[in-house]
Amino acid sequence: MSLREFLEECRRRGEVVEETGRVSAVLEAARLLARYDGGPVVILRDVDDKNIPVASGICGSRDRVYRALGVDKDTYYVAVRDAIRSPLEPKIVEEAPIKELELGYKLSSLPVLKYYELDGGPYITGGVVIARDVDEGYQNASIHRLMVAGEDRLLIRMVPRHLYAMYRKAERKGEELRVAIVIGVHPAILFAASCSPPLGVDELWVANKLLRGKLTVTRSPELELLVPSEAEILIEGVIKPGERGLEGPFMDITETYDEVREQPVIRVLKIYARRSPIYHAILPAGSEHKLLMGMPKEASIWEAVSYVVPKVKAVRLTPGGFNWLHAVVSIEKQWDGDGKNAILAAFTGHPSLKHVVVVGHQVDVDNPVEVEKAIALNVQGDEDLVIISGCRGSSLDPSSLKKGVTCKVGVDATPPLQPHKANNSKLSPHYRCVAGHED
């Protein structure tokens, strides 16, 4: 279950474009990637004569993500839920392609891109960071942006989630946290690393469940962390207690620059790769970035809403909301009040969510015109809006008056179970469709 196998499948489907001319890792490569954003996988064959091709857009379309997980748009919610609830331990192998080459310790050996003019430096954006808890021994895998700050130094952006908790625990004990960064992995691993299972659940086990037991892992040479055996590139390093540096600016998912912060430093020990490695670069604020962040949260919202509404048809974090701040949830309404309960549950399932529209089960969540018609025909502002002030939201929302605190708004655009008597004889065919009232 490797990136290479997935790329070969994409080639057979005509979904790969290759650029063979030499391009610079500073801005020029990113401009090429942006040209194809949301379309085919792009492979840049020559980036600064590094002799390591750069691939991007691997998870740049929903259909490719569904295909990588072996699901479709209707079944992926359950597949993700089951993988998180019942993860599957991967088989450990001693010999692995990821150990074939030793590239020393210098990050300059890799084609790390600088994407935008105001970026704080070149960034590794497709790296999965794997760490082991210093006390309990469980592993965690998550995607983080990594700014190159020297030949053997990376600055890692950590938000207060699982890796941050592990790092702070090690720091309080005065111990270094050992980390392995893998670049160029199967999309199911990227997807699992973007999920948020409970602390202590190894995302590589989640990926193995999604891959139906076909993932193998191996011990990293220096630190003996378990890493995907068929990853393209492996960086081993340590985060020493108390060592920090200024990270940023960085163009984030909302197409706005994230601020400069003090962040932990990773000291690189050694870089390994398989023969003829492929470097995976995720274009910041591009479709791949947005889908990898957003799609796992759609599954989280689906599960949360499923606890309060018997039938959730679909959840979509919308492109206009950067696949992060806005959602549409389609439910099969059975009781008055189901729409509002679904709104509250959606905010629980994705704490960064800012606005959510709940619609009836016949509305296509991918069709903004249908969603707007549902609002037009079913919503009375004084009855169907849910407004919650002072909530934890997204730190990426530039409209927040206080960083990370927002006002959340839900719109109950579900049709009434019984049409209003005054309008009962005047229902248009479209209203009947949106409302679920069929002749």
d(C-alpha 205, C-alpha 140), whole Å: 10
Q: Distance from first CA to last CA of the chain, Å, rounded?
A: 50
d(C-alpha 96, C-alpha 417), whole Å: 59
d(C-alpha 129, C-alpha 420), whole Å: 55
Q: What are phi and psi of 226, to 5 degrees?
A: -85, 120
Q: What are phi and psi of 69, to 5 degrees?
A: -90, -5
Per domain, the residue ranges of the chain are: 74-275, 288-435
d(C-alpha 26, C-alpha 29), whole Å: 7
Query: Which pair of tokens denotes residue 141?
Result: 């895998």
The model carries a pTM of 0.92
- Assign domain 288-435 one CATH number from 3.40.50.970, 3.40.50.2000, 3.40.1670.10, 3.40.50.850: 3.40.1670.10
Cα 151 to the chain's mean position, in Å?
A: 28
pLDDT tens digits in sequence order for the chain, 439 residues long: 799 999 999 999 999 999 999 999 999 999 999 999 999 999 999 999 999 999 999 999 999 999 999 999 999 999 999 999 999 999 999 999 999 999 999 999 999 999 999 999 999 999 999 999 999 999 999 999 999 999 999 999 998 899 999 999 999 999 999 999 999 999 999 999 999 899 999 999 999 999 999 999 999 999 999 999 999 999 999 999 999 999 999 999 999 998 899 999 999 999 999 999 999 999 999 999 999 999 999 999 999 999 999 899 999 999 999 999 999 999 999 998 999 999 999 999 999 999 999 999 999 999 999 999 999 999 999 999 999 999 988 888 888 877 779 999 999 999 998 765 445 444 443 444 444 444 3
For residue 244, CA distances in Å to 240, 241, 261 come to 9, 9, 10
d(C-alpha 37, C-alpha 284), whole Å: 11
What pLDDT is stored for residue 396 in this prediction? 82
For residue 290, CA distances in Å to 105, 207, 271, 358 come to 31, 19, 28, 22
- Residues 296/196, Cβ–Cβ less than 8 Å: yes
Coil, strand or helix: which one is 282? coil
Reported CATH class of domain 74-275: mainly beta
User: Within a 10 A sphere around the Cβ of 290, how many other Cβ atoms?
Assistant: 25
Q: Looking up tokens 């984030």, which residue turns up?
A: 252
Annotated catalytic residues are 252
Buried b (16+ CB within 10 A) or exposed e, 163-193: beebbeebbeeeebbbbbbbbbbbbbbbbbb
What pLDDT is stored for residue 320 in this prediction? 95
Coil, strand or helix: which one is 261? strand
Q: Is 426 exposed, middle or buried (0-12, 13-18, 19+ CB in 10 A)?
A: exposed
Coil, strand or helix: which one is 180? strand
What pLDDT is stored for residue 283 in this prediction? 98
d(C-alpha 344, C-alpha 124), whole Å: 36
Name 153's bridge partners. 150, 267
